[in-house]
Every structure is written in C-alpha cells, then in structure tokens.
Amino acid sequence: MGHMGNWEWAGPCFTLSCKHQLFVVYYPFTNRYFEKLFQKARTKFNTKIIPRNSTLKSIVANKNTIGATALIADQAPVPLTTAGWIDFLHQDTAVHLGPEKTSKLMNYPVVYMHVQRTRRGYYDVYPTVLFDDPTKTEDMEITEGFNRMLENEIRKQPETWLWSHRRWKNKRPVN
C-alpha cells in the first residue's frame, strides 16, 4: 500500500478482523521517544513490526506462519544505488525494488491494499490481488503494477496521499 488515507489504521483493522498474523515493515524513528511511542501503538493489537533492514530475514524466519507482510512502498528508496526508476505522476521517480524481489524469491502473491476515505474519520480498506504467481512476471512488472494502482488512487483522492515525504528529492544518476 501507499501512504493513502489513514495507513496507520489499516494494520490494526487487518489484525482485528483476520485470524492471520500481520507483519508490517517500517522505518524506525531516530528519536527514541517517538520510536517507543509508535512501536506501542503499532503492536497494540498483536501486529508484528519489522524494521526495514530486517525485512528479508524476518520473512524467511516466518515463512511457515500463515499471515501477511505489509509494506508501504511509496517512499524514496535508500540507498539510491538499489533503486529502480519509473514514470510516476509524470515525474522520473526512484522506486523500491525490494518488494518485487522478495515476492519473486518467496513466490508470495502480491496484494494491493486500497484505503479509501468515505467521510471524515472513516476509511474502507479492501484488497486487490495484483499477481498470484510473481515468479511468472517480467522485471519491474510488479513494481510498475503497484505504482499504477497507487497513481489511480491518488488521482481519485489526492487529498488523502501524504505529499510531504519528498518523493522526488532524488535525480536519476547519469551513466
């Protein structure tokens, strides 16, 4: 999913309405106070959180657990040397390739989670299966598919996307 609507609310919603374990990949805060505060909020309903630098290790360790791994994949990738590049909202944009590589490696289905604001303080969350068998996709097909879905959502409800995370701060390296 992307930073659409109330993405922090989507995790507990999943955990409370499903019997399966949810693992959420996140960027840890450098401020210890905020890190502790957000860890407490994000794990309150038994959601497991995974620091971004432990994603693959955690997915492999939990491969026998029936569950879902959630990634909010619309931030600028770090380091830039690992990024792919696409056209996103008519801008040359660096994108994370980790979700695509991981889904192919583990052959896990890729599901896009829509978050739609229905009225103030109310959101609907619903899934769309993008790829049942990631191993049968071309390079960048999963990444492009995710970003096209996100673009469509942004066009429908631009006010619900987090515009402030400096998506276009990086420029494509010149070879």
Does residue 111 belong to any structural domain of this protein?
Answer: yes
Distance CA 167, CA 86 (A): 12
121 domain residue, yes or no: yes
3-state secondary structure of 58: helix
Provide the 3-class DSSP secondary structure of residue 49: strand
**Three-state SS letters, 67-126:** EEEECCCCCCCCCHHHCEEEEECCEEEEECCHHHHHHHHHCCCEEEEEEEEEECCEEEEE
> Is pLDDT above 80 for 78?
no
Q: Is residue 156 included in any domain, yes or no?
A: yes
Instruction: Compute the chain's Rg from CA coordinates.
Output: 16
102 domain-assigned: yes
Residues 61-76, mean pLDDT to the nearest whole number: 87
Give tens-digit pLDDT for 101-160.
999 999 999 999 988 889 998 888 889 999 999 999 999 999 999 999 999 999 999 999
Model confidence band, residue 47 (pLDDT cutoffs 50, 70, 90): very high
Is 1 part of any domain? Answer: no
pLDDT of residue 125: 86
Q: What is the pLDDT of residue 82?
A: 85
173 occurs within a structural domain: no
pLDDT of 134 reads 97
**Is the distance from CB of 142 to CB of 131 less than 8 angstroms?**
yes
Report the distance separating Cα 63 and Cα 108, nearest Å. 10
pLDDT of residue 105: 92
What does the pLDDT read at residue 126? 87
Distance CA(5)–CA(117), nearest Å, equals 6
Tell me how far apart the terminal alpha carbons of the chain are, to the nearest angstrom: 31
How many structural domains does the chain have?
1
The answer to whether the beta carbons of residues 157 and 4 sit under 8 Å apart is yes
Neighbours of 81 (CB within 10 A): 7
Instruction: Confirm whether 106 is domain-assigned.
Output: yes
Instruction: Identify which of 167, 81, 68, 158 has the alpha carbon closest to the alpha carbon of residue 113.
Output: 68
* Residue 28: DSSP 8-state: -
pLDDT tier, 95 (very low <50, low <70, confident <90, very high otherwise): very high
Mean pLDDT of 14-25: 89
Q: Note the pLDDT of residue 121.
A: 85
22 is in which domain, residue-wise? 7-165
